[in-house]
Structure 1
Amino acid sequence: MADNYRVLTRTYRPQSFDDIVSQEHVSSTLKNAIKQNRISHAYMFCGPRGVGKTTMARVLARTLNEIDSSVDGESLSQTLNVVEIDAASNNKVEDVHHLREVVRVPPQSGKYKVFIIDEVHMLSKSAFNALLKTLEEPPPHAIFIFATTEPHKVLPTILSRVQRFDFKRISVDEIVRQLSKVCEREGISIDDESLHVIAKKADGALRDALGLMDQAIAFCGNTITYSQITQALNIVGNDELFEFTDAISDQNAEQGLLLIDRLLKDGVDIVEFLVSLTSHFRNLYVAHQDKQMHLVEATPETKQRYQKTAQLFSEDDLLRMLHIASDAQTKIRDVQQPRVHFEILMLKLVHMSRVKNIQTLLNEAAQLKKKSSNRVESQKSSSPQNPEEKSARNGQSVQKNGVEETSQTNQPEERSGLALDTPEENNELKKSPEIPQTKAAETEVTEEEDEGINELLMGKPSLGYAKGISTANGVKKKERVEPKQVEKRTLKGIEDIENCWQEYLDHLSREVPLLLYEQVNRVQLKNLKGSEVTVSASDEFARNLIEENQKTLSSLFKEKNGVHVRFRCVVERTKKKESAQLNPYERFRELQKKDSQLRSIVEIFGAEFEY
C-alpha cells in the first residue's frame, strides 16, 4: 500500500476554471473580469456544501497571480501571496485585528495579495465591524474572497461591499459523468445504476460523491456492483422500493410486513427508507405522464420500470400515497416506537381505498338514483290527472289475481240506477254496516302509538295541543285547544308567587318533561319585580335549561294562574343547611313541601310525625 495515498476529493480537485463542474455562470464572469482588468476588491461565494466555492476562490487566486500549475490548490496557502483563513476557528476580534496588520504588507511576488476567508458567517458581530473599514477601503494590492453556506447570517453592511455569486447544486447527470471520468482514470469497473445511486446520495455535492466513491472502492475493490454498493453505503435500493410498491398495489399486508422485517434486520434506517420512499412516490407520480420523464433522475431501465409501475395506480392514489409518506417522514423522528409507526404507514397504504373503486360506487349510486326517479315519473304519468279520468278509472273493472272484479266504489252508482228512487232503501243503504274499512283507522292507531312513544321519551306536549278531529282524508291531526278560563290572580309580592307555586309545580309535572320539572322544582324563589320573577339555581345547567324553556314555563303559569310572568334565573351556590340545624318536625314539613305524594297522605289520613 502506498504511503502517500490521497483521497479522490483531493486528487481530482479542479486546477482551472474549465475544470469546475456546473458553475459556468461564475467562472465565465470571473474570466471576463480578469480579461478586462476589472477585478473587484471583494467577492462572496455562496452556495451549498461541496459545489466548488473554495475551489473557485483558489483558482481565482492562482489566475490573478499567475501561479504555475505544478503548485496544487492546497499548496497555495504556503505562498506569501495567498492567505487562507478558517473563520470557524478564527472568529474573534483579535483575529481580525491581526488580519488588518497583514493586509498592509504588499505581496512579495506577483501583483495581488488574496485573502480567502472560508465560512465567513461564523465571524462574530464585533469581528465583522472590525473588518468593515478595511473591507470598504482596502490597499490596492488586497483582494478578499469570502465563502459561506449561510449568507443570511452575514451582516448587510458586509454584503453591500462585495460582489456576490450564488453557486448551484450539481445535477445527478453531471455528477454521473464526472464519476465516470474518475473511474475510467482509476481503472474501476462500475455500472450506471451504481453511479446513479452514488450521485443521488451525494445530494448535489460533487465532493460528497467522490467521498462515497472512495468508500465504495474500499468495500468492493476495482469491480463495483449494484448489490454491493447498496450494502456498503447502507442505501435503500430500487428493488426494495418497487417491492414495497408491489405489496401496496396487490394489497398484500403480509408481504409488506415481511419486507419491513427484512429491511430492519439488514440495518436499514427507517428515516432513510421513508426519505427514499417519498422520492419514489414522487417519481411514480411524474412517470404517470410520459412527457414528464425528464424530471426523473434515473437510468433508462429504471425509468421504464417507473412507467410500468405507475400504471397500477391513478394520479389521485399516487398523490395520496405521496402525502401519507411525506407526513410520516416528518413525524417518525418524534415517536417512541418507529417500527410500529412504519408498519402502520404500510398498512394505511395497503388498505387505502382506491379512487377507482370509489368512483365505481358513485356511478352505481347515480344510476340507482336515476332509475328511482324514472320509476317515480312513470308512476306519476300513469296516475289520473283529473276527476274525469279518476271517475273513468272507477267505472272500469279491475282484474285481480286473474279474476275480474268490480270496484266497490261502483256499487252505490249501480244501485242508484236500480232502486235508489225510494227513500226507504236509500236510508237502509246509509245505515248499512257493510261499508268497506279504509286506511284511516290504521293511520289513526299508528299516530296514537307514535304519540305515546313521544310522550314516553320527551314528556307530554306543550299546552294548547290535543287530539283533533279527523280531516277529509281520514287522518287525525292535532289542533290547538283553547285554554280554560281561569280566575286571574293578583300578584303584589313574592309571597303571592309562593302561595300558588306548589300548584304550578304540580301542573308542570304533567305538562313538561321530567328533566325540566326537576330543575324548576329545585330553584328558590327570590324576588318579584313587575311581571319578572327572579329564581336562583345551584348550577349553570339549570339556569340554561330554564332560560331555553322560558316561553313554555310562562305560558303554563298563565294557564294555571291567569297572569303572565317572566322567569329570570340566577346562579347562587350556597352552603346547604346541616340536618342537625332542623328539628324533626321542620324536616318533616320540608319533606311534605318537596314530595307531593307524602303531602297527599298527610292531608287524607291526617298523618303526624311521632317523635
Structure 2
Amino acid sequence: MSENYRALTRKYRPQNFEDIVSQDHVSNTLMNAIKQNRLSHAYMFCGPRGVGKTTMARVLARTINHIDNSVDGESLNQTLNIVEMDAASNNKVDDVHHLRESVRIPPQNGRYKVFIVDEVHMLSKAAFNALLKTLEEPPEHAIFIFATTEPHKVLPTILSRVQRFDFKRIGVDEIVHRLRKISVDEGIAIDEESLHVIAKKADGALRDALGLMDQAIAFCGDTITHQELLQALNVVGTDRLFQFMQCVKAHDADQGLELINTLLQEGYDIQEFLIGLTEHLRNLYIAHHNEQLYLVEASEDTKQKYRETAPDFSRDDLMRMLHIVSEAQIKIKDAHQPRIQFEITLLKLIHMERSENLNELLAALEEVKKNSSNQQITATKPDSEPKNVESPAVQSTSNAEYNGSTNGTSQPVDVPPTPQAESKVETPTDVMLAEEEEEDDEFDMGTPVLQTRHTKLKKVEPAEAKAVTTSTPVEGYQSSNEEAPKARINNIDEVKAAWPSFLEAIKADFPIVLQLQVERTQPISLKGSELTLECDNALSKKMLDEQAQDLARKLQECTGTLFRFNVTVSAKQQQEQSARNPYERFKEIQQKDPILKELVERFGAELEY
C-alpha cells in the first residue's frame, strides 16, 4: 500500500453542499439561511449512521467561515475557528466547562466560531444541564452543531433550544450512482449487479457502502466480478435464493437440504441467509404486480427474474412463507442448535401445502356440509304424499249406515266384520287406519237391501306414518299395543337428561365437524319453547345457528318437543381464552378438534394474528 493511500470514505468526503447525497432538504435550508443571514445559534442533526451528519456540519462550518477547499475536512479541527468534540469520550461536566471557556474566546480569522459536538446523546444529564445556559444565550460569534443517532436520549430542554434536522437513509439507486462515479474515477471495472449488492449491504449508509467498496477492491483488484464479490462480502446471492425457491416449488426436500449444507460449508451466516430470504420473498410478492416493481431494489435483469418466478407462488403462500421466516429469525437467536432450527424452517417452506390445495379442501368440506344438510331435509320429508282413500261402499253408504232405524236415531249397524284391505284415512290430528268389513243385510219383503260397513279405527304413531300433516286430534281410538305420545318437556332438567341421547342421535346424520361443536355446547335454561344453549366460541355459535332447525327436529325425536334454539357464547370462556397466550389457545383448540390437528400436521399450518 502506498504511504499516501487514503480510504475511500475519507478521500471522497464531500467538501460542499452539492456533493452531499440525498439530503437536499437540509442542504437547501442551510444555504438559504446563509444567503438571508438567518443562521441559528444551535443546530441538531439527527439520523442513521453514515448518512452525512458530521459531513454536513463540517460543510456548514467551512462555508460560513469561507475556508478554502484545499483544507481537508478532517483538518478543520486544527483551525482556531472550528472546534470538534466527541461526546462519547468527553461526556462529563468538566468537559462541558472546558467547552464553555472556549466559547468566550472570539474567532481569530473568521466571523463565526463553530462547535461541532458528535454523538451528543452520550453526554450525562449533569453535562447537559451545565450546557443549558450557554446554549440558550451564546455569544454572537458562537454556533453549536450537535450530531446524534439517538435524538430520543437528548433532554427535551436541549431539543427546545436548537433547530432540528432529520437526515434520511440513502436509497439504493443513489448509492449505486455514487459508487459508479467513484469506480470510474478510480479506474475500477465492476458490473451493475455487484454495485447493487454493495448498495443493499450498506443498508442506506453511504459511508458503509464506500467501506465495502474498499474491501471488494482489496479482494478482487481492479476488476470486480459478481461471484468474487459475494465471496468477499459473505453475501447470499440472488441466484442461490432463486435456486432455493425452485426447491420449494418442486417440494424437493433432498435438494433443499443439499443446498443448505453447501451454504453452511461455505461459511454463510444463518441470520444473513434468513434476512436475504425475507427480502427475496418480499420482492416476489411485489413482483405479482408489474406497476409496483419500482419498489424492488435490484438491477433490471434481477427484476425480470422476479417477474418470471412470481407466478409460481400465490400471494397467500408468500405471506405464509414470510411469516415462517420472520418467526425463525427470532427463534434461532436463542436456539441451542441453530442449524437444526434453520433446517426445520426451510423444510417447512418446502413441505408447506399451497393455498390452492387448502382452498380445494375447504370447498370439499363445504360440499360435505351442504350434502349433509340436504340429507337431513330429505329425511324429514314423507316418502309419499298421504292420500284420502274412500272405497265405493263408503261413498254409497255415507248416510245410510248411520240411519239403520226408522226412528231417525244414529246407531251403527252391528254386524260381524269381514276382513278387507286397509286404507289410510287422513284425520285432522292423527293418521287413522280403517279396517273395513262389509256384510249384506236383507230385510223383509218390500224393504230395500242395505249394504253397511263396520269400521274399526286405531291410532297410528309417528313412527308408522312419517311427516304427515296433522291438526286436531280425534279422541277415543287407540290400540292397546301402541305407545302413548311423549309428554311435553317443561323444565331444563329433563332436557339435560335427554341431551346424551341427542348427542348419540346426531352422530349418524350430521357431519363430524358439527358434532364436535354440539358436544361443546350445553343447555342452560328453558323458557317456554325457547331453549338457551351455551357454547365456548363464536365458531360453534355460527355453526349451530346455521343448523338450528335440523338440530331442533333431531332433538324433538329424543324429547317429543320442538324447541327454538337460542345459542350464546360463554363470557367466562371468552375471558379465559383472551387471558391465555394465543399459542396456548391454538394448541388447546388442536387437541379438542381432530380435524384442525390433522390440518396443522398435514399442511404445516401456523398461527397468524
Return the TM-score normalized by structure 1: 0.65
- Counterpart-to-counterpart distance in 1, 2:18 and 2:384: 94
Stretch deviating more after TM superposition (10-19 or 301-310): 301-310
Deviation at 1:387, TM superposition (A): 2.8
1:448-469 CA-to-partner distances (Å, cap 9, x unmatched) read: xxxxxxxxxxxxxxxxxxxxxx
Please name the residue that 2:69 is paired with: 69
Aligned to 1:184: 184
Alignment partners' CA distance in 1, 2:103 and 2:30: 23
Question: Residue 65 of structure 2 contacts residue 110 of structure 2 at CA under 8 Å; is this kept in 1?
Answer: yes
Report the secondary structure of 2:83's partner residue. Answer: strand
Query: Equivalent residue of 1:90, what SS?
Result: coil
Match of residue 337 from structure 2: 337
Q: Give yes or no for contact 1:384–1:390 (8 Å, CA) kept in 2.
A: no
Q: Deviations over 1:396-417 (max 9, x none)?
A: xxxxxxxxxxxxx98557xx99
User: Are the aligned partners of 1:187 and 1:222 in contact in 2 as well (CA < 8 Å)?
Assistant: yes
- Aligned residue for 2:231, secondary structure, equals helix
2:501 matched residue in structure 1: none
The amino acid that maps onto 1:45 is: F
Structure-1 residue corresponding to 2:589: none
Deviation, 1:111, is 0.6
Post-superposition offset of 1:439: 13
- Kept in 2, the 8 Å contact 1:440–1:474? The answer is no
Shift of 1:373: 6.1
Counterpart secondary structure, 1:214: helix
CA contact (8 A) 1:81 1:114 kept: yes
1:382 Cα deviation after fit: 8.5
Task: Give the equivalent residue in structure 2 for 1:234.
Answer: 234
Distance of aligned partners of 1:373 and 1:162 in 2 relative to their CA distance in 1, 3 Å threshold: closer
**How far does residue 385 in structure 1 lie from its aligned partner after superposition?**
2.5
Q: Compute the displacement of 1:363 (Å).
A: 2.9
SS in structure 2 at match of 1:147 = strand
| Counterparts of 2:422 and 2:37, CA distance in 1 | 122
Amino acid at match of 1:320: R
AA aligned to 2:342 is F
Do 1:471 and 1:477's aligned partners in 2 also have CA atoms closer than 8 Å?
Answer: no
Aligned-partner Cα distance in 1 for 2:309–2:482: 68
1:388 shift after superposition: 2.9
SS for the counterpart of 1:244 is helix
Deviation at 1:379, TM superposition (A): 8.2
Shift of 1:362: 2.8
Q: Distance in 2 between matches of 1:294 and 1:171?
A: 12
1:420 is displaced (CA, Å) by 6.7
Do the aligned partners of 1:332 and 1:341 also contact (CA within 8 Å) in 2? yes
Q: Which moved more, 1:376-385 or 1:236-245?
A: 376-385
* Structure 2: gaps (5+ residues): 392-418, 424-434, 442-455, 465-477, 489-609
1:209-608 correspondence to structure 2 within 5 Å: 209-367=209-367, 383-388=383-388, 411=421
The one-letter amino acid paired with 2:300 is P
Structure 2 distance, partners of 1:238, 1:472, is 88
TM-score, normalised by the number of residues in structure 2: 0.65
- Counterpart in the other structure of 1:136: 136
Is the CA contact (8 Å cut-off) linking 1:274 and 1:329 kept in structure 2? yes
Give 1:383 shift. 3.4
Query: Secondary structure at the residue paired with 2:388?
Result: helix
Report if the CA contact (8 A) 1:47-1:149 is conserved: yes
Alpha-carbon separation, structure 1, partners of 2:387 and 2:157: 96
Q: Which amino acid aligns with 1:107?
A: P
How many Å separate the matches in 2 of 1:221 and 1:78?
35
TM superposition shift of 1:386: 2.6
Q: CA distance change for structure 1 residues 474 and 440 in 2, over 3 Å: closer, same or farther? A: farther
Q: Give the structure 2 partner of residue 197 of structure 1.
A: 197
2:420 touches 2:437 (CA, 8 Å); kept in 1? no
CA distance in 1, matches of 2:237, 2:38: 50
Q: Distance in 2 between matches of 1:2 and 1:212?
A: 20
Specify whether residues 472 and 145 from structure 1 end up closer, same or farther in structure 2 by C-alpha distance, changes over 3 A only: farther
CA contact (8 A) 1:103 1:139 kept: yes
For residues 266 and 410 of structure 1, the distance between their equivalents in structure 2, rounded to whole angstroms, comes to 98
Aligned-pair CA distance for 1:353: 2.1
Letter in 2 for 1:301: D
Pair 1:263–1:471, CA change in 2 (3 A) = farther
Deviations 1:20-73 (A, max 9, x none): 000000000000000001111111100000000000000000001000110110
Aligned to 1:28: 28
Counterpart of 2:512? none
- Aligned-partner Cα distance in 2 for 1:390–1:90: 116
2:313, 2:292 → 1: CA distance? Answer: 17
What's the CA shift for 1:320? 0.7
Contact kept? 1:87, 1:117, Cα under 8 Å: yes
Distance of aligned partners of 1:65 and 1:365 in 2 relative to their CA distance in 1, 3 Å threshold: same
1:114 aligns with 2:128: no
Residues 207-255 of structure 1: CA deviation (Å, up to 9, x unaligned):
0000000000000111111111110000111111111211111111111
Going from structure 1 to structure 2, the CA distance change for 1:333 and 1:420 (only over 3 Å counts) comes to farther
Tell me what 2:594 maps to: none
Q: Distance in 1 between matches of 2:438 and 2:256?
A: 89
Provide the alpha-carbon RMSD of the alignment. 3.5
The equivalent residue for 2:592 is none
Unaligned runs of 5+ in 1: 392-408, 423-429, 431-437, 442-469, 481-611
Alpha-carbon displacement from aligned partner over 1:531-577 (angstroms, at most 9, x marks no partner): xxxxxxxxxxxxxxxxxxxxxxxxxxxxxxxxxxxxxxxxxxxxxxx
Distance in 2 between residues matched to 1:194 and 1:325, nearest whole Å: 26
After superposition, the Cα gap between the structure-2 partners of 1:376 and 1:15, relative to the gap in structure 1 and judged at 3 Å, is: same
Task: Give the SS at the match of 2:353.
Answer: coil
Letter in 1 for 2:43: Y
The aligned counterpart of 2:82 is 82
CA contact (8 A) 2:421 2:436 kept: no
Aligned to 1:143, the other structure's residue is in SS state strand
Q: What amino acid is the match of 1:251?
A: H
Counterpart residue type for residue 347 of structure 2: L
The whole-number CA distance in structure 2 between the counterparts of 1:82 and 1:292 is 47
In structure 2, how many angstroms separate the alpha carbons of the residues matched to 1:440 and 1:377?
A: 17
Partner SS state of residue 311, structure 1:
helix
Shift of 1:286: 1.2
8 Å CA contact 2:420–2:436 kept in 1: the answer is no
Q: Helix, strand or coil: the match of 1:357?
A: helix
**Are positions 1:8 and 2:8 aligned together?**
yes
Counterpart in 2 of 1:585?
none
Deviation (angstroms), 1:342: 0.7
How many angstroms apart in 2 are the aligned matches of 1:49 and 1:473?
A: 96
1:440 and 1:473 in contact (8 A); partners too: no
TM superposition shift of 1:372: 6.3
Q: CA 1:474–1:154 in 2, change beyond 3 Å: closer, same or farther?
A: same
* Matched AA of 2:215: Q
Count, aligned residues: 429
Distance 2:138 2:483 in 1: 105
Aligned to 2:542: none
Residues 64-84 of structure 1, C-alpha deviations (whole Å, 9 max, x = no match): 100011011011111111111
State how far apart, in whole Å, the 2-side matches of 1:75 and 1:334 are. 46
1:154 and 1:417 map into 2 onto residues whose CA distance is 107
Tell me the distance in 2 between the aligned counterparts of 1:252 and 1:62.
Answer: 61
Superimposed CA distance per residue, residues 517-544 of structure 1 (whole angstroms, 9 cap, x where no aligned partner): xxxxxxxxxxxxxxxxxxxxxxxxxxxx
1:39 corresponds to: 39
Structure 1 partner of 2:159: 159
- Range that drifts further, 78-87 or 287-296: 287-296
Larger Rg: 1
Q: Which amino acid aligns with 2:149?
A: T
Per the TM alignment, residue 147 of structure 1 is displaced from its structure 2 partner at its CA by 0.5
Q: Distance in 1 between matches of 2:140 and 2:480?
A: 112
Distance (Å, rounded) in 2 between the aligned partners of 1:14 and 1:471: 111
The verdict on how the C-alpha distance between 1:267 and 1:110 changes in structure 2, with shifts beyond 3 A counting, is same
Alpha-carbon offset, residue 366 of structure 1 = 4.0
